[in-house]
Amino acid sequence: EEAIKSLKRFRGENFDTKSEIADLQKEEQIRQSHNVREAIKRKSSKKAMLISFGLMFFQQLSGINAVIFYTSEIFKDANIELSPAIATIIVGVVQVCATFVATLTLDKLGRRLLLLVSDTFMALCTLALAIYYGVKSNDENSVEGLGWLSLIALCVFIVAFSLGFGPVPWLMMGELFSSDVKGIAGSLTGTLNWTLAFLVTVAY
């Protein structure tokens, strides 16, 4: 009864839900009749795992955890007048606000668009930071007074990540896998994510 109410709310009051409910029940019976090993061998499951693993791979190789873990050190090296601790708090507040905005825009703008926008702005911000610190390492006087560039670039980087590559891979993981493989596939995807996070942070 709850499923029928949900379908009518989603598809309209005049929609005939009987055939769709029957198809869903048949699909669920087929899923329950297969064991997990057989379910993972399905072509759809392999494709879902490839996409999910790829999203987690690029999420962590964006360097987000390295940036967050070493935010204070980054601002300390930037020689800005603002205290590194305060700057770190600002970045944290920005991340919370951006994540809240992401919850409102995910369904409206779509996953693909958010991933593309997120990736583009993160790349530009990383490039800006690389140029700033590259010039600073050669001639510290040449970037005097430009320390705020690192704070702005880092904040935009966090916003871009929180709008796309932060939530979308985890959301897609729940949407891609069928119910009979979601448990094991989700565990493998989460393990890959945090293993990459560890390796990236250690390498940084």
Q: Could you tell me what percent of the chain has a pLDDT over 90?
A: 12
Contact 132, 150 (CB under 8 A): yes
- Per-residue confidence (pLDDT) for residue 138, from 0 to 100: 73
Mean pLDDT across 141-147: 66
- Per-residue confidence (pLDDT) for residue 93, from 0 to 100: 87
- Per-residue confidence (pLDDT) for residue 204, from 0 to 100: 64
HEC letters along the chain: CHHHHHHHHHHCCCCCCHHHHHHHHHHHHHHHHCCHHHHHHCHHHHHHHHHHHHHHHHHHHCCHHHHHHCHHHHHHHHCCCCCHHHHHHHHHHHHHHHHHHHHHHHHHHCHHHHHHHHHHHHHHHHHHHHHHHHHHHHCHHHHCCCCHHHHHHHHHHHHHHHHCCCCHHHHHHHHHCCCCCHHHHHHHHHHHHHHHHHHHHHHC
Q: Supply the pTM of this predicted model.
A: 0.72
Mean pLDDT across 7-25: 81
- Per-residue confidence (pLDDT) for residue 57, from 0 to 100: 93
Q: Per residue in 106-127, pLDDT tens? A: 778 888 888 999 999 999 988 8
- Per-residue confidence (pLDDT) for residue 124, from 0 to 100: 92
User: Cβ neighbours of residue 47 under 8 Å, at least 6 residues apart?
Assistant: none
Contact 170, 26 (CB under 8 A): no
- Per-residue confidence (pLDDT) for residue 51, from 0 to 100: 92
- Per-residue confidence (pLDDT) for residue 63, from 0 to 100: 83
- Per-residue confidence (pLDDT) for residue 101, from 0 to 100: 85
Is the pLDDT higher at 20 or at 56?
56
CB neighbour burial string for 146-177, b if at least 16 within 10 angstroms, e if fewer: ebebbbebbbbbbbbbbbbbbbbbbebbeebb
- Per-residue confidence (pLDDT) for residue 110, from 0 to 100: 82
- Structure tokens of 151? 């704070």
Average pLDDT of the chain to the nearest whole number:
82
Q: Per residue in 28-76, pLDDT tens? A: 776 666 666 677 777 888 888 899 999 999 999 888 888 888 787 777 7
- Structure tokens of 182? 């979601």
Mean pLDDT across 176-191: 83
- Per-residue confidence (pLDDT) for residue 145, from 0 to 100: 64
Give the torsion through C-alpha atoms of 106, 108, 112, 114, to 10 deg.
Answer: -60
